[in-house]
Structure 1
Amino acid sequence: MTSSLPPSRLTTHVALFLFFLLLGHLAQAQTLLTGRVTNAAGAPLSGASVGVQGTNVGTDTDSNGDYTLTLSQGGTYVVGVRLLGYLNQEHRVTVKAGEKQTRNFILVPGDRQLEEVTVQGDRTNKFSRKSSEYVGKMPLSNLENPQVYATVGKELLTEQLVFSVDDATRNAPGLQKMWEPTGRSGDGGSFYASRGFVVSSQLRNGVAGGVTSTIDAANLEKLEVIKGPSATLYGSALTSYGGLLNRVTKKPYETFGGEVALSAGSYGFHRASVDVNTPLNSTKTLAFRLNGAYTYEDSWQNRGYAGFAKDIAIAPSLQFQPTDRLTINLDAEVYRSTNVGKQLIYIPFDDKVENFGFSRADQAPLDYRQSYQGPGLTQDSRSTNLFAQVRYRISPSFTSTTYLSSSRSYSQGRGPYFYMISDITLAARDSITLTTPGVSTLLRNDQSTRDSRRQTYQVQQLFNGDFQLAGLRNRVVLGLDFLRLDSNIEFFGGQIDAVPINALDYNYRTFNKSAVDAAYAASTPPSYPVTTKINTYSAFASDVLNVTNKLSVLAAIRVDRYDNEGGLLYFPVNSYKQTAVSPKFGVVYQPVKDRVALFANYQNSFNNQNSSFLDAQGQLSVTKPERANQAEAGVKLDAAGGLISATVSYYDIRVQNVLRIVGMNEAGLAISAQDGTQWSRGAELNLTANPVQGLNIVGGFAYNYSKAVDTDPNFNGRRPETASSPYLANGWVSYRQPTGALRGLGLGFGGNYASDNKIVNKASQGVFTLPSYTVLNASAFYDLPHYRFAVKMDNLTNEHYWIGYTTINAQKLRSIIGSIAYKF
């Protein structure tokens, strides 16, 4: 009999058959511990952490409060359960090898937490985080959530010897770093691309908490990369159409413990970090935790001549639990940085790519290792974040949570940057005609900040409920939110000089503090102030309704009142107010309960625009908020007792109401229309697995197709310059010896791939590309009860590669770092 399927589809069906056959094999003859976690009223508690003391075996309860633990062998174990808002509970359970044992838990309200006790060795999907209380503003397991998100936990960061959020993001599928942190107040931290749009890390534990410089991972419990337009729960001011990054921080716990670590390596890198936790009273209702780090690194480009970064991060945290119902958390993040900005090279907007004689960064006559500047062009950056969280359990079914957040950033100092200009354009600026393509000159510029400050204040009130209504389970969040952005920033600067590129024995150190100070003393540079003040008042509601045991639906809505008080944004901005409504819908069906979930969602975001514009009829038209609408569907998998977790999705984002300039009138005023569109669609895969004991795998793949539609002819039909690479992939494979004399000894290997990135893509200018790259990394570690030894090598093959949007930013060559930690 001959198959009627084409070869490609037949291969796919065979692969799927073998895949599920493998899952079935893994599920056989396993030693299982199952049960249900409920409150005193018998209501199931989802998202509770269930773990086996002295092992890495752990999971989270599903929507029915059920859990399943896969044990490596039979025996007697101490099983613990913890859930925010309830007292921790432990029980001793005996399980026979190859059999299933059941143990249920009833939790009592209270908020005392214990550190998760783990000893490496037993089989577990340790890099998988199966639930989040932040993504949906309620405790919700991944399989129950119709939204796509990726989580990078501290276990993976420790194994990879990761010290910053920037390096942590390389484990998130579909996320690509595009711009280094500048340290400037007001923007500061790194910028990334997600689903074709620019995004930055502006949120900490679900509320405002931006950092202008490199964000240290010293107090990072996990990084949540939430995909797609998410204004319904998070608003539009701190998110983008591509999603958001939420940093979840380490919390105090009831026992004394911590670690200190020292690290050193290539390019003068050295680092000291500390994590200390202690109870402050005999009843252990008051606990304090301090995370901190000092990091220094020279530039890898001509080390010692110009670039360096010196960063200090201090993050104290206090938790007070006066009663079983009330928990108060007070946190702070203090960042201080003195640095020289990474070398950013722009292409002038009035320069055509054909004038260069090349169209790719790897063809440019730039010296990859050369720093085209001298000493002293430093900038001081400060970020201070203060947080308060008050959580009160009103009843077993209802909880009130109040957040207060204050974020302040400050910067002062130099910001060097460069233009790679063609000989043709440079000659034309001097009224000289030249026709031979080529580049032989670099324009050296500075954009400084002076006493620049930005303050963000947020007050958020949440009421969470988990209750039965007409026999159906409802999980509800009602929220009120106030956000104020207050900017008082001054940029100033301009071109300092022009120098030949790669001239033999040329002294590039003449672009330094003395030269810039002298240029500004001789002629006052132009200033570009930003003095806007914006208030946003919001109310939102979300409900997850369990229609059946396997089917749940989500409905949410946000009403947002935007009040821009006006000011200066390089030019005067009139005050204006706008109201926007952002809905969200989702559905999840689990054909195999707690193992396979089919999901679909509709998500929305918006961007407030200026109050009016001049239309083609010469009339002032009221500007509507720009909108992005996403439709997405996919499957989430948590198979083989949680040893294999995966998400596959396809999304389609349409941006509408894009304001575009269509011409000029007789008075020289811009004529605009608000009918532009951008399409962004693609597919993503996220995978974590533990196929055999001691072996763990993390992987991801993303494809994104972006296109500007009905917009400026210069961009129409083209991929936006900020959309980054259309193909991205990440992977990490590690093995840790689970037993014997070398228990805790491990190796890890992985890397990232990105396809070509068009950083210039205009009809008038042409196309300039950053070439594709594959960067490989490796680590080795030996984790003992009180010591951890580790070494990592990044960029194993010494790959020359660049990141950027509208910029060329060469990335670090091969580096080696070693570390030793003492745990107590």
Structure 2
Amino acid sequence: MIKHFPITTKITALLCILMLCVTGYAQNTRGTIRGKVITANNEPAAYVSIGLEGTTHGSATNENGEFSFRAPAGSYKLIISYVGVERVEVPLTLTAGQTVDVPTITVKANQSQLSEVNVIANSANRFTSRISTDAAKIPLTPLENAQSYTTVTSGLLKEQQVFNVDEALRNAPGIQKMWDATGRAGDGGGYFTLRGFVTQTRLRNGIAGTITNTVDAVNVEKIEVIKGPSATLFGSTLTSFGGLINRVTKKPYEAFGLEVGNNVGSYDLSRTTIDLNTPLTASKNLLFRVNAAYNTEGSFRNFGKSRSFTIAPSLSYKASERLSFLVEAEIFSGRSSAAPFFFFYSQPKDLGVTKVSDLTIDYKQAYVSDDVRQRSRSINYFAQMNYKISDKFTSQTVFSSSNSFSDGANPFYYLVTDALAKSFDPSVSITPSGRSYIARYDQSTKDSKLNSIEVQHNLNGDFNTGSIRHRFVFGLDFLHQNSNQVFFTNFYGIAPMNSKTFNYGSFNQALVDATNAANPLTINNTYPYFYKKDAYSAYLSDVVNITDQLIASVGLRIDHFKHSGTQKFDRSPDAAAFNQTAFSPKFGLIYQPVKDQLSFFANYQNGFVNPDIYINASGTPTIPKLQIANQAEGGVKMALFDGKLNGTLSYYHIKVSNSLYSVQSSVPGVFAQTQDGTQVSKGFEAEIIANPFSGLNIVTGFAYNDSKYTKADADVDGLRPVTAGSPYLGNFYLSYRLPETAVKGLGVGFGGNYVSKNKIINSVSGGTFELPEYYLFNSNIFYDRTKYRVGLAVNNLTNKQYYTGYTTINPQRLRQVVLSLSYKF
């Protein structure tokens, strides 16, 4: 009998065999260069780029200042060069099959100065990040981490002229935007789906950093998409079963730097940015940096304006060689018109539709005047203290305060049958299609606030027991959330879906104010979120080098959750208080057949959620059980050919238990639920970041997700959840910089995304409604010099009409041309 294997298994096996063969051949023609770099203070110089002059061969030091990489036999100069400090050159001769031990290199700089490192050799791979300190809360290279994650670097964002985190995530495989940011307190930024589950950008440098509106990237050094349930290290409140999005911010460094930029473009785009860094003392133990952006933009629709301001100051203080402090703030303020979201009031079955082309939505119509706007604001504060206990142990204490606010109207539109529209407005005429109208509502907020405080302490160690190396973190974490959010809705009449004569601008601020005055907020027409939540946690994770090539990891979190109970608008009790305790383990295993170049990995990851109290079939309030997710994942990671070929191939299987779903109640008029549902999400992901030859860089990815309810309400049992997004996703970006013998600094880029059909309604009773698949292309050209940079980007190159959403239809921006200029002083 011939056994057939899935195509993804065949591809993975073939690639692994090919990589092993090629790497084995390369080992016979290359030698190894290794050594250590220290600072002027005789400390290990961590994460410093180092390379061979005139080649693409190089590496970066680890947290101990050590480096090791392979190169073809020959004579070279090993080069390190960085801003404001004398460059270092070390001549060497490399023999095939041999190892050259370079004498310890001293760089005339302190560690923080090294953030400005530039490699003289042509960088082997501009869009990779060699070390992450947040993904495992331990400094690890991707090949040492048994969990999948993707890093989007600031260099890639600058080249693509991407200004916010939402757009930056188009470079990460397996993640899909579903909603633009609503601007409402508590909602966070945009909504995404990752491995079949909804997630948002809620973490900053590994701790709470919620932002109400679209997250500006002016202060972002890199973005990490950490995949799979991750409650062991990050808890449950800020993550999802699909993973999490962590933004890593820019830090002060020990040199003066000033960069100002200006961007103009289609739809009246105007954006001004500044990045100022300066030492405040002669000894450079007190450093200051501020990043800021002011952004205004119109819309491709006939109405729509947005205005936002972001400022992120940071101050670092080095009290001694052992003790240092970092204080930061983020202030995001915005005022914008709402983008139209189309919901299904009447189900697709009743409307007789299955796809967008069955409707007559006017793609360029805002359906509202642009004076209907919402105010949003996020003010976040952070403080960090680092203490070096010894060469083997460090201590870190972090404080975070996140404060979000919103107030104002947020129009939502509902698709209705003509018959239903006529019941709302008797003047409506029945049309041949029977689906020619929308009902105009809003989901607005009134002085809504969500405040979070997180205090976290981490003890990190790097030591040996015999011949076994341990890298561990022990952490204590306290997270407090205080919600005072008020949502409400009003009805603003029926409007035709597509009309050349109807005055859609009549839905304006005057109408909103009059409607609000006529309908004062009461317990009957509001949806309050009044509650307090506390989570007290302790966690431990240990990465153990059993041998140089075999690495195991183990972790456990203990989490005690306290819910104060919820209140109604008049502050009377609604749901009772309750407590829960959760245990979240994780395990990982890595084997590197070729050390630091190829690793096979497997993991077990766990996640949990504390659901709110629900009403059971008997009409009784019920304290929920923990909702649990367990993931098994395996795959291969690579950093081959001296970092010219990097990537991850992985297969995952996530099972969620104790899901809530609706059931028939014995009490009339009661919405009842039970909690024995299950869901399975499994899939394959691939990411490749390559530098095939000097000047050309490639970023590409592919993801397939198969998600379905395996026990749920009969209406959706066995079907794909609407939160899972599209089953197939693809992304790519090609960048080419002309060689220095031509026009130094001139380059071009071209990229795009593929998104397959997305079932935003998928049930027996409602039917199925799909958003169409789409291909989206972007291009840019840039001229990048030491002192200045000029760029021209064209986003949505083919002017494609496309949609995002889950349970909704959300038209997206058409072609936009952006011109950028920045200058460094």
Q: Matched residues in 2 for 1:30 and 1:782: separation?
A: 35
Structure 1 position 276, deviation (Å): 1.1
Deviations 1:674-716 (A, max 9, x none): 2100110001001100000000000110000010121111111
Matched residue type, 1:194: L
Change (3 A) 1:563 1:5: closer
Task: Write out aligned runs for 1:404-419 (5 A).
Answer: 404-419=399-414
Larger CA deviation: 645-654 vs 115-124: 115-124
Question: What is the deviation of 1:367?
Answer: 1.1
Other structure's SS at 1:515 match: helix
Q: Distance in 1 between matches of 2:3 and 2:233?
A: 48
**Following the alignment from structure 1 to structure 2, what is the Cα–Cα distance between the partners of residues 158 and 370?**
32
Equivalent residue for 1:366?
361
Name the counterpart of 2:555: 556
1:595 is aligned to: 597
Distance 1:285 1:54 in 2: 33
Supply the AA of the counterpart residue of 1:573: A
**Residue type of the partner of 1:274?**
I
Aligned to 2:436: 440
Residue 129 (structure 2) pairs with residue 129 (structure 1): yes
- 8 Å Cα contact 1:195-1:228 kept in structure 2: yes
Contact 1:648–1:686 under 8 Å retained in 2: yes
State the shift of 1:623 in Å: 2.4
- In structure 2, distance between residues paired with 1:472 and 1:418: 61
Distance in 2 between the 1:537 and 1:13 partners? 44
Q: Is the 8 A contact 2:327 2:382 kept in 1?
A: yes
Matches within 5 A, 1:664-813: 664-666=665-667, 669=670, 671-813=672-814
Is 1:339 the equivalent of 2:341? no
1:52: Cα distance to partner?
4.6
1:450 aligns with 2:443: no
1:412 counterpart letter in structure 2:
D
> What CA deviation, in whole Å up to 9, does each residue of 1:227-270 have, x standing for no partner?
00000000000000010000000111011113111110100001
Structure 1 residues 325 and 404, CA, compared in 2 at 3 Å: closer, same or farther?
A: same
Is contact 2:81-2:120 (8 Å) kept? no
With over 3 angstroms needed to count, the CA separation of the structure-2 counterparts of 1:818 and 1:800, relative to structure 1, is same
Bigger mean CA deviation after superposition, 497-506 or 697-706: 497-506
What secondary structure, in the 3-state scheme, does the structure 2 residue paired with 1:664 have? coil
Change (3 A) 1:500 1:365: same
1:394-409 alignment runs, 5 A limit: 394-409=389-404
Give the Cα–Cα distance (whole angstroms) in 1 for the partners of residues 306 and 143 of structure 2.
41
Contact 1:418 1:445 in 2 (8 A): yes
Normalised by the length of structure 1, the TM-score is 0.92
* CA contact 1:89–1:107 (8 Å) conserved in 2: no
Counterpart position of 1:281: 281
Residue 545 of structure 1 aligns to a residue whose secondary structure is strand
1:187-218: CA deviation from partner (whole Å, max 9, x where unpaired):
13101000000000000001100111111111
Q: Does structure 1 residue 377 correspond to structure 2 residue 376?
A: no
Q: What is the SS of the residue equivalent to 2:722?
A: coil
Contact 1:63 1:141 in 2 (8 A): no
User: Is the contact between residue 48 and residue 81 of structure 1 (CA under 8 Å) also seen in structure 2?
Assistant: no
Q: CA deviation at 1:34?
A: 2.7
1:189 — aligned with what?
189
Match of 1:178 in 2: 178
Structure 1 residues 427 and 143: alpha-carbon distance in aligned structure 2, compared to 1, 3 A threshold? same
Residue in structure 2 matched with residue 823 of structure 1 by the alignment? 824
Output the CA distance in 1 between the equivalents of 2:325 and 2:505. Answer: 53
- State the AA in 2 paired with 1:550: Q
2-structure distance, mates of 1:122, 1:149: 26
CA distance in 2, matches of 1:553, 1:92: 38
Shift in CA distance, 517/543, structure 1 to aligned 2, threshold 3 Å:
same
Alignment of 1:157-176 (within 5 A): 157-176=157-176
Q: Which amino acid aligns with 1:328?
A: F
Trace 1:19-418 onto structure 2 (pairs within 5 A).
33-36=33-36, 48-52=47-51, 59-61=59-61, 65-68=66-69, 75-79=76-80, 91-96=88-93, 101-103=100-102, 105=104, 112-118=112-118, 122-302=122-302, 306-348=303-345, 351-418=346-413
Conserved 8 A contact 1:51-1:81: no
RMSD, matched Cα: 3.2
1:608 corresponds in structure 2 to 610
Taking the aligned partners of 2:62 and 2:486, their CA distance within structure 1 comes to: 51
Q: Which runs of 5+ in 2 are unaligned?
A: none
Does the 8 Å CA contact 2:628/2:657 hold for their aligned counterparts? yes
Report the CA distance between 1:362 and its aligned residue.
Answer: 3.1
Report if the CA contact (8 A) 2:683-2:704 is conserved.
yes
CA contact (8 A) 1:659 1:672 kept: yes
1:162, 1:210 → 2: CA distance? 20
1:176 and 1:672 map into 2 onto residues whose CA distance is: 30
Specify the code of the residue in structure 1 equivalent to 2:556.
I
- The answer to whether the 8 Å contact 1:112/1:285 transfers is no
CA distance, structure 1, for counterparts of residue 354 and residue 635 of structure 2: 38
Give the Å deviation of 1:357: 3.2
Letter in 1 for 2:225: V
CA distance in 2, matches of 1:54, 1:475: 33
User: Which shows bigger deviation, 788-797 or 441-450?
Assistant: 441-450
1:342 is paired with a residue whose SS is coil
| Distance in 2 between residues matched to 1:267 and 1:805, nearest whole Å | 27
1:130 & 1:486 partners in 2: Cα distance? 38
> Is the contact made by 1:35 and 1:68 (CA closer than 8 Å) also made in structure 2?
no
Cα distance in 2 for partners of 1:769, 1:127 equals 35
> In the alignment, which residue of structure 2 is the partner of 1:504?
500
Aligned counterparts of 2:410 and 2:206: Cα–Cα separation in 1? 31
Q: Which moved more, 1:3-12 or 1:138-147?
A: 3-12
CA contact (8 A) 1:177 1:192 kept: yes
Distance in 2 between residues matched to 1:333 and 1:748, nearest whole Å: 31
CA spacing shift, 1:433–1:153, aligned 2, 3 Å:
closer
**Cα separation, partners in 2 of 1:12 and 1:724, compared to 1, 3 Å:** closer
Shift in Å, 1:14: 7.2
Residue range with higher mean Cα deviation, 319-328 or 767-776 = 319-328
Q: 1:188 to 1:495 in 2, by over 3 A?
A: farther
Give the percent of matched residue pairs that are identical in Structure 1 and Structure 2. 42
Deviation at 1:758, TM superposition (A): 0.4
| Deviations 1:351-370 (CA, angstroms, capped at 9, x unpaired) | 23133232112331011111
Residue 33 to residue 818, structure 1, CA distance change in 2 (3 Å): farther
CA distance in 1, matches of 2:499, 2:683: 45
- CA–CA distance in structure 1, aligned partners of residues 657 and 498 of structure 2: 46
* Deviation (angstroms), 1:78: 3.8
Worse-matched range after superposition: 493-502 or 213-222: 493-502
Q: Give the Cα–Cα distance (whole angstroms) in 2 for the partners of residues 741 and 640 of structure 1.
A: 26
Cα distance between partner residues in 1 of 2:59 and 2:711: 48
Deviations 1:45-68 (A, max 9, x none): 897333359998753346994422
Paired residues, what number?
809
Q: 1:640 to 1:275 in 2, by over 3 A?
A: same
* Cα separation, 2, equivalents of 1:593 and 1:112: 29
Deviation at 1:32, TM superposition (A): 6.5
Whether the 8 Å contact between 2:58 and 2:124 is mirrored in structure 1 is yes
State whether residues 213 and 376 of structure 2, in contact with CA within 8 Å, keep that contact through their aligned partners in structure 1. yes
Change (3 A) 1:579 1:110: farther
Deviation digits for residues 567-619 of structure 1, max 9, x if unmatched?
23789221111111100111111111111101100011111123565367x88
Task: Give the letter aligned to residue 329 of structure 1.
Answer: L
Distance change in 2, residues 1:16/1:331 (3 Å): closer
The one of 459, 466, 481 aligned to 1:463: 459
Residue 354 of structure 1: SS of its match in structure 2? Answer: helix
**One-letter amino acid of the counterpart of residue 494, structure 1:** N
TM-score computed with the length of structure 2 as normaliser: 0.92
Q: Secondary structure of the residue that 2:232 maps to in structure 1?
A: helix
- The question of whether the paired residues in 2 share the 8 Å contact of 1:79 and 1:93 is answered with no
Q: 1:633-672, aligned counterparts within 5 Å?
A: 633-666=634-667, 669=670, 671-672=672-673
Cα distance in 2 between the residues matched to 1:522 and 1:619: 36
**Structure 1 residue ranges without an equivalent (≥5):** 83-87
